[in-house]
Every structure is written in C-alpha cells, then in structure tokens.
C-alpha cells in the first residue's frame, strides 16, 4: 500500500485511542469532499445512502459495487475511510475473509462486519456463526499485514430486538474474536450507552446517531463513547430537502423551497479546488 494509505490508517487508529470524534457518512464523492472541507477527521460509508443514490433499497447493492464505491471515496479524499461492509457479502466465514481481503485492497482504514442475516424471519445470526465470521475477518487483516481497524457490529436493536444483555454478550464475544471497535446501532439511552461502553472497555465504542437522541456530542463523550457515526442520516437529510422542494413544485406549483438551496456559486467555489482531479 502507498504511504498515504498507511498514514490514513495510522491516523484512524490514533483517533480511537482517546477522546470522541464524529465519523460522518458521505454517499458519493461530492459529499465526501464537502465533509472533508468542513473539518471532519475521518469518514465512513453508508450502505443505505449509497444504495439510494443508485435508486435501490438498502442492502441490495452487490459486493463489487460496494468495493468500487469505497475505492472512489478513498481516492477522492485525504481522510481515512471506514467501510460499512454489511455482513461481509458471504454465507460462510471463508467468504467473509475473502471479502475483507478485497476491501483491504481498496485502501480503507476500517471495515465493519455485522451479524444480521437479511432474513426477516431470523434477522440475527447465531452467535457461534457470528463469532467465526469476525475471527475470519480478523485473520484476513492480520495475514495482510495492513493496519486496518475491524469493527464488530451487534444488530439486535437496529433490527427490532432491544435485548441489551444479548447485545452486550455479542459485543464481548466479537471483541474476544478480534474486533478492535464495537458497535451496537440502535442503542439510544444514557443507560444503554453506558452499559455497552463499560462492558467492552477498554475497546472503543461507536455510537450511531442517525436521528436526535437528546444527547449532545459533549454528553456522549462523557459517557465514554469514542466515535459517533451518522449512518444514513445525512443522506436522508439531503433527500428531505430535495423532496420538500420537488413536492412543492409538483403538488403546489410553487418554487419557494428553492430559496433554501445552497447557492451554486458557493458549491462551485468549494469544488473548484478539485478541478484537476479528472474523473
């Protein structure tokens, strides 16, 4: 890997060692570059935001499409990028390892592997299977010799199963299997967050804040969270502005909402710095 990729990975790992940082989720090159311009220190992909930009529902993009997408973000910005790699795009641990090897080759600084199945009847994987998949991802990273951060995700709360005890059990098991950072999207209360942080300490915890949870960045940091991701929140906010304006035109014949749009001159001024980066 190039020196720039190595530097990004080292900077990303250092961010997890103390304090609390926000890891926003761009869905394309433009949003990634804008977030860099706003001063964020690292980025993460959003499977939902990317899927919507392709006109698809979340969870339906192919592995090849996801890898090409993250490669474009890695190459477009100077920031480390964490890949939301869903379930690793494989039914078995060996396949997860192969997927992670492909992900490492894109230059990512981190890879998240979740324990969801995509099956509404049985949405969360068996714990032993999930542990084996995290171990496979860990082995692939170690064999590569690259300093890529592995994130273990317990999807209980996100999938409508608010079982805190099982979530903690899973996160602890993923930490034991080699996850560097733990993530339980869907937890929201102070009590839930504090319990997760304490259960996996000293490993860092990622908190999803995709919608208001009544806590500020400072308050979340006080609970011991190391990083905060936004998931599809920014993509949904962008779609919200688009739909308000488009519906006003389509349904009312009014153009007032366009007055809230960011001026084109502002956008052109910002993106002009990348004009030599030809697609």
Answer positive or negative: Cα dihedral of 124, 44, 73, 263.
Answer: positive
Spatial CB neighbours of 19, under 8 Å, sequence gap ≥ 6: 221, 226
Percent of the chain with pLDDT over 70: 99
- Of residues 140, 181, 141, 133, the one with CA closest to residue 12: 181
pLDDT, position 278 = 53
The per-residue pLDDT of the chain, averaged, comes to: 96
Q: Which pLDDT tens digit goes with each residue over 66-109?
A: 999 999 999 999 999 999 999 999 999 999 999 999 999 999 99
Query: What is the reported pLDDT for 2?
Result: 82
For 209-251, the pLDDT digits (tens) are 999 999 999 999 999 999 999 999 999 999 999 999 999 999 9
Alpha carbons 229 and 209: distance in angstroms, whole number: 6
Quick check: 1 pLDDT over 80? no
Query: pTM score > 0.85 for this model?
Result: yes
CA dist 271 and 275 (Å) reads 7
Confidence band, pLDDT 50/70/90 cuts, at residue 277: low
Architecture of domain 3-234 in CATH? Alpha-Beta Barrel (3.20)
String of b and e for 184-214 (b: at least 16 CB within 10 Å)?
A: bbbbbeeebbebbbebbeebbbbbbbbeebe
Enumerate the domain spans of the chain: 3-234
């Amino acid at each position: 890997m190039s020196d720039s990729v190595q530097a990004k990975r080292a900077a990303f790992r250092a961010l997890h060692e103390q304090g609390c940082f926000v890891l926003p989720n761009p869905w394309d090159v433009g949003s990634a570059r804008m977030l860099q311009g706003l001063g964020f220190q690292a980025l993460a992909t959003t499977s939902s935001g990317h899927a919507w930009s392709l006109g698809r529902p979340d969870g339906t993009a192919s592995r090849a499409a996801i890898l090409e997408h993250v490669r474009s973000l890695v190459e477009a910005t100077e920031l480390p990028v964490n890949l939301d790699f869903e379930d690793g795009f494989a039914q078995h641990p060996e396949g997860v390892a192969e997927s992670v090897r492909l992900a490492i080759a894109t230059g990512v600084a981190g890879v998240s592997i979740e324990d969801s199945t995509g099956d509404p009847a049985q949405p969360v994987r068996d714990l032993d299977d999930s542990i084996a998949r995290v171990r496979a991802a860990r082995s692939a990273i170690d064999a590569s010799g690259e300093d890529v951060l592995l994130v273990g995700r317990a999807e209980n709360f996100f999938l409508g199963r608010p079982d805190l005890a099982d979530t903690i059990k899973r996160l602890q098991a993923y930490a034991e299997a080699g996850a560097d950072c733990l993530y339980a999207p869907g937890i929201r209360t102070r009590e839930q967050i504090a319990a997760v942080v304490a259960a996996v300490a000293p490993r860092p915890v990622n908190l999803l804040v995709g919608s208001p949870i009544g806590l500020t960045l400072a308050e979340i940091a006080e609970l011991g969270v190391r990083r905060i991701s936004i998931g599809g929140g920014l993509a949904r906010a962008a779609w919200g502005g688009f739909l308000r304006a488009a519906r006003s035109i389509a349904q009312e014949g009014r153009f007032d909402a366009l007055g809230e749009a960011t001026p084109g001159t502002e956008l052109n001024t910002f993106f002009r710095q990348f004009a030599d980066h030809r697609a």
